[in-house]
Structure 1
Amino acid sequence: MGHGLRFAFGTLSVLRVRVDRWDRPTAGRAMLGAPLVGLVLGALAAGAGALVSWRAGGLLGAVAAVSVLAALTRGLHLDGLADVADGLGSGKPAEDALRIMKQSDIGPFGVLTLVLTLLAQIAALAGQFTVSPGRGALAVLTAAVAARCALAWGCLHSVPAARPGGLGAMVAGTVPLAGALAVSAGSALALWAAGWAAGWPSPRYPLALVLGLGCAWLLLRRCVRRFDGITGDVLGAMAETAATGALLALAV
């Protein structure tokens, strides 16, 4: 599992980690260990958001938390979200849509999706930070963990790769259903424990994770039908969708 965790941190974060193995079994273990990456990155972003919220208010705390998460991932998932939006919005056949997604520029669908997603995340987090810095921090943690749990579901054995090359082909089909269920259940339990330790013994955080994963699953099914499989961009879009869905669930 050590190689898998190094693969996960080296691929999904800016943290300097030596990756010794780059093969499909290790990639599968990395996707199962991805929620731990979310826990670490989420804790850093939650701390930054709570500090800024305490000193400057909930809105700026939310902006800080979202910005730190984006910086810690080099905007990897946001880039994937924009590319998938352009591919889906193009209305072109799978091969042409994949070519559009691979281009370095961002089209109007991608820009609009990024703006609306970031606004939704910031607005939802601002409400949580306004209640208290602790509530906001736990919401950030929930979103970060939910985003990385979604990666395992995107890499199930039943999900093919859309093209032979790239990160998507490396990780596609590497995760058993039992593994995805186990890491999601473990993450939900950890979030419930974190809420209980903070004085909020409520199922709202595990439920938000489940709802976020449900949103990511709907996107996955759409992408598999549209592109005949997944790419690294699809996984990034799933992560942002799960995070946004979890935050909106907490907001309502």
Structure 2
Amino acid sequence: MDGFWRASAFLTRLPVRAQAFQGGPHPLGADAAAFPLVGVAVALPSAVLLVLLGAAGLQPFTASLIALLLLVALTGALHEDGLADTADGLFGHASAERALEIMKDSRIGTYGALALIGSVLLRVVLLTELAARSPALAALSLIAAAGASRGAMAWLWSRLPSARPDGLSGRMEAPSRETGRKAAGLALALLLVAGALTGALAKEWETGFAAVVLPALLGAGGLDAFRRLLLRRLGGTTGDTLGAAQQIVDIALLLGFALAL
């Protein structure tokens, strides 16, 4: 639980237990196995809000947008910031050295702005698709995607070298491969639970099976494609690219849930 609180302090704006930081230092990478649980915790308020707004009579699009904006606020837009910086660095046909310089620049460029707009729109639209069928299913998908995508982020961090040793991912000491496997295993467990609950809510075991297989395949495919891109363009990962990985997998998982339902 101390690892959960320490990871939560970095990944979210939620209040944490100060006692968890005693007896340090505590490298963030050592706590990466708790990333999926942090994702579940930070998504819970948004999931509850999504259900309540639907019950209050708001349209699915409006409820989904408000719920997503709450989630972004609770994370301090940490992963969205990484996505924007990564898009600016990788999609400008710059060398690896220049791409890393661009990613350190706090100013947002055209690619970054488009990536942010696309990420928010895709997630809102996919949540709307789910909420139109059932707010409860949309809330469940939101929680599962938030947790599993952070597990995928931890796994990626454990598998790639740091492209910038003096950057965030280098300074924080990457998780061991064992820690990365634990995070990935917990992410898969979340998808299995979400699939079982989805099947129960939909009263169709085929839907529950699809709600596990499709998100898992799309999420793993998106993560592997992004991993290959990072190796080819940068030779490793950075703090920004880890945030981008979370966003990519989150969208892929929500797409999988929407297709399954």
Name the residue aligned to 2:228. Answer: 221
Moved over 6 A (4+): none
Deviation for aligned residue 1:23: 3.8
Residue 59 of structure 2 aligns with which residue? Answer: 57
CA 1:95–1:249 in 2, change beyond 3 Å: closer, same or farther? same
2:145 to 120, 143, 146: 143
Q: Which residue does the alignment assign to 2:238?
A: 231
The normalised TM-score by structure 2 is 0.87
One-letter amino acid of the counterpart of residue 220, structure 1: R
Q: How many residues align?
A: 248
In 2, Cα distance between equivalents of 1:76 and 1:129: 25
Question: Match of 2:39, SS?
Answer: helix
The equivalent of 1:38 in structure 2 is 39
- Tell me, yes or no, if the aligned pair for 2:155 and 2:183 is still in contact at 8 Å: yes
Report how far residue 181 of structure 1 moved. Answer: 4.1
Query: Per-residue displacement from partner, 1:164-203 (whole Å, max 9, x unpaired)?
Result: 1233112435332542442233222332343355455512
- Report the more deviating stretch, 199-208 or 44-53: 199-208
Cross-structure match for 1:14? 13
How much does 1:49 deviate? 1.4
Q: Residues 226-246 of structure 1, C-alpha deviation per residue, up to 9 Å, x if partnerless?
A: 112111111100001011011
Letter of the 2:36 counterpart: P
Q: 1:184 aligns with which of 183, 187, 194?
A: 187
Farther off after superposition, 107-116 or 40-49? 40-49
* Letter matched to residue 212 of structure 2: P
Match of 2:137, SS state, is helix
Give the aligned residue type for 1:237.
Answer: A
Amino acid at match of 1:37: V
SS at match of 2:177: coil
Match of 2:3 in 1: 4
Contact 1:149 1:213 in 2 (8 A): no
Residues 82 and 248 of structure 1: CA distance in aligned 2, closer, same or farther (over 3 Å): same
Query: Cα offset for 1:85?
Result: 0.4
- Which deviates more from structure 2 when the two are superposed, residues 133-142 or residues 71-80? 133-142
- CA distance in structure 1 between the aligned counterparts of 2:25 and 2:106, rounded to whole angstroms: 25
Paired residue type of 1:246 = L
Q: CA offsets per residue over residues 88-142 of structure 1, 9 Å max, x none?
A: 1121111111110011111000101111121111111111111121121112112
Q: In structure 2, how many angstroms separate the alpha carbons of the residues matched to 1:61 and 1:50?
A: 8
Farther off after superposition, 162-171 or 199-208: 199-208
**Equivalent pair of 1:59/1:123 in contact (CA under 8 Å):** yes
Matches within 5 A, 1:71-220: 71-156=73-158, 158-169=159-170, 170-176=172-178, 178-196=181-199, 198=201, 200=203, 201=205, 202-207=208-213, 208-220=215-227
Structure 2: where are the runs of 5+ without partners?
Answer: none
SS in 2 for 1:100: helix
CA RMSD after TM alignment: 2.0
**Structure-2 change in CA distance of 1:175 and 1:72 (3 Å):** farther
